[in-house]
Amino acid sequence: MKLTELIQKLNLSVRSAKMHLDREVAGGYASDLLSDVLANSKEGDLWITLQIHQNIVGVASMKDLAGIILVNNREPEPETLEKAEIEKLPIMVTEMPTFELVGRLYSLGIVGTK
Amino acid sequence: MTPDNKISRIQELVYEIRIGEVMKRNVITISPQTNMSELRKILREKRISGAPVMDGDEMVGIISIEDFIKWLADREHDCPISEKMSKDVQTLYADEPLTQAVNKFERYGFGRFVVIDHQSRRLLGIITKGDIVEGLLKKLEVDHYKEEEEVYRRRVEHFFEDILADKVVLLFQYDVAGHDFKRAGEGASRLKASLKRLGLDPQVVRRVAIATYEAEMNMVIYTDGGKIRVRVEPHGIFVKVADSGPGIPDIQKVLQPGYSTAPEWVRNLGFGAGMGLNNILKCASKMDLKSVVGKGTQVYIRIDTKDGAMSETN
């Protein structure tokens, strides 16, 4: 499923890289530990986290993730957005907590393992 | 690229891109019973210039800011929207190429068109000239970005062809400042971009980048900084990450998954979970860790190009 479709279906607000939402989402990974994401997420995954500092952009671009969704209405720090624009990495926010968001994603066909 | 080329690319794109790709999907609709006097508030709050008028599931017309201005200018009494809306609604299909929309905008001079599904004829979205421009710019930017990367790649390929030697080795060095979380990971990011441009296998590039990132993070968290040195050879990539202290007292302990001496504030950022060295081990074909307390630590990472096919996860 395309990122644009998920954004519309889950009513996500896009905070960065608005011109780069065409990407296909391969799967999902939810974690707040950066090393865990580096170890276990896969290329094209959507990453669900509550971390908002700029290192999340580094981790996501290391792994070529499709984008990051911040939960619980958390807003990315200004430096995070700056980096995300440079890396052309979409960051989205939602008022949903992780459990709710992952459930919705799963029912839309975004799964964690292939 | 000459300006003439750009124009022909746009002409190409208006046939390539489908209306459904650029239209806005979250359509705000208005009921026919809404009063004209309420229209301004709706348009302003939703930041739109017009909306389809829906009577239940059926589209009965379209109302726009032009209709509102005309109503104001005529100084008529308040009335339901259904009396002032355009009843002859021109529609476009989501699977039609953009050129259809361009033609219709020219022919009718309307500000927006309703987009419906070809088969079910259900309302799918709404399209304005702005959406068309945005859609075209987006595609052109993607084209431009691809072109840029292509130029870099070709430049690097030529660079290698021009060098006459039995063996070519590339060396990169990145300086890492300790305790600087703002810049943490920059070395690994820059390394990744450079290796990508060399045309190396994406899987190999990712392994090198992750292993280097973790080693760089350790340096940022625990030391006053150091250097990342990377040697690129045809059969493999060698990364050496070295700092000048404080050193690790018990190497066996730090290699245990989950063992960490990271302070609380570092853990709150999502680091220091005791997974870093294990991640390096997973990515590397070989890893070596040397440390002397008071002197410093060196991490040696080798990633063989032939291991590229293996995924970096698991």
pLDDT in tens, A18-67: 888 989 999 999 999 999 999 999 999 999 999 999 999 999 999 999 99
Chain A, window 19-38: residues with a beta carbon less than 8 angstroms from a chain B beta carbon? 19-20, 22, 32-36, 38
A94 touches chain B (CB under 8 A): no
Q: For residue B314, what pLDDT is reported? A: 40
Cα first-last separation, chain B: 45
Answer yes or no: is B68 within a domain: yes
Q: Which of B182, B188, B214 sits opposite A54 (nearest CB)?
A: B182
Interface test with B, best of A5, A23, A34 (most B CBs within 10 A): A34
Answer yes or no: is B252 within a domain: yes
Residues B123 and B180 in one domain: no
Answer yes or no: is B27 within a domain: yes
Chain B, window 82-141: residues with a beta carbon less than 8 angstroms from a chain A beta carbon? 137-138, 141
CATH number where B231 lies: 3.30.565.10
DSSP code of residue B24: B
Q: Is the pLDDT of residue A11 over 90?
A: yes
Distance separating alpha carbons of residues B101 and B27, to the nearest angstrom: 18
| ipTM score for this prediction | 0.84
Dihedral sign for Cα atoms in the order A35, A37, A41, A45: negative
Of B136, B155, B179, the residue that ends a domain is B136
Length of chain B: 314
Answer yes or no: is B179 within a domain: yes
Answer yes or no: is B83 within a domain: yes
Q: How far is B28 from chain A (nearest CA, A)?
A: 14
User: Are B185 and B217 in contact, with CB atoms under 8 Å apart?
Assistant: yes
- Domains held by chain B: number: 2
Residues B195 and B285 in one domain: yes
Which chain A residues contact residue B26 at CB under 8 A?
8
Predicted structure pTM score: 0.68
Neighbours of B194 (CB within 10 A): 18
Answer yes or no: is B146 within a domain: no
Residues B114 and B190 in one domain: no
Q: Check B214 against A38: CB less than 8 A apart.
A: yes
Answer yes or no: is B143 within a domain: no
Residues B187 and B302 in one domain: yes
**Which residue range is the domain that position B225 belongs to?**
167-309
A50 touches chain B (CB under 8 A): no
Mean pLDDT across the stretch B267-295? 91
Residues B266 and B183 in one domain: yes
Q: Which of B45, B23, B48 is nearest to B123 (CA)?
A: B23
Q: Check B206 against A63: CB less than 8 A apart.
A: yes
All structural domains of chain A with their residue ranges: 3-107
Which chain B residues contact residue A32 at CB under 8 A?
270
CATH number where B85 lies: 3.10.580.10
Q: Which CATH superfamily is domain A3-107 in?
A: HprK N-terminal domain-like (3.40.1390.20)
